[in-house]
Amino acid sequence: MHYNTQTNRHGMRHDPFKAVVVPRPIGWVSTVAANGVLNLAPYSFFNAVSDKPPMVVFSSGGRKDSLRNIEHSGEFCFSLATHALRDAMNMSSAAVAPDVDEFALAGLTPANSVLVKAPRVAESPVALECRLWKIVPMPAPHGSTESFWTVVFGEVVGVYIDDRYLREGRVDVAAIRPIARLGYMDYAVVGAENIFELKRPEVSADGMSAHFNAKAWDGVYR
């Protein structure tokens, strides 16, 4: 099958694009409104884009509360969505009125961040405190003159990790069991049963060949 995305005539019941770019981390983003109301919402288009400096990105379809709050405050916090928190994460996606606190709606506890005003989800084992770097409107879709999607870049200025998930100098991702977005209404979970290691090949001094080293990984991303 092949289809042109400008006509989107794929012959399927649902657009397959988001079902093939998978899995995607869930951007569980918390912000504070100008009137002090807390906001928490999951975004399916989210990821880390660099580590020097550490930067994350998410995109908002339409002018949602998170986007407006970030434009006002210049900051937000990301909390990791886990299998144990899946129902709360899903509840926080409800398109309720701006004055509704999604922390309370989802039965979650806001915990103070250290470097930003936006709180993290206390029940989540990982949080990234972010300051706005740039907001970029995406191109208007075919046949339209107005952009629908807006991309938000944030610099990570602080990282929280629950000490219970630190093992021998590494984060025990299998124990955390983060969830990821697939297509349609489907999700996936990362666990010990589906984690495997692949070390990158080492390149020869002359740059003309590469090989795999049987030694344990030395912590260097080559």
Q: Is residue 83 part of a domain?
A: yes
Q: Is residue 191 part of a domain?
A: yes
* Close Cβ partners of 196 (under 8 Å, ≥ 6 residues apart): none
Q: Is residue 89 part of a domain?
A: yes
Q: Is residue 72 part of a domain?
A: yes
The C-alpha atoms of residue 70 and residue 72 are separated, in whole angstroms, by 5
CATH number, domain with residue 139: 2.30.110.10
Q: pLDDT tens digits, residue range 91-107?
A: 999 999 999 999 999 99
Asked whether 79 and 28 are in contact (CB, 8 A), the reply is yes
Query: Please, what is the end-to-end C-alpha distance for the chain in angstroms?
Result: 36
Torsion region of 90: left, alpha or beta (phi above 0 gives left; psi -120 to 50 gives alpha): alpha
Q: Is residue 92 part of a domain?
A: yes
Q: pLDDT tens digits, residue range 47-77?
A: 999 999 999 999 999 899 999 999 999 999 9
Our count of domains for the chain comes to 1
Domain hosting residue 191, numbered range? 17-197
pTM of the complete model: 0.93
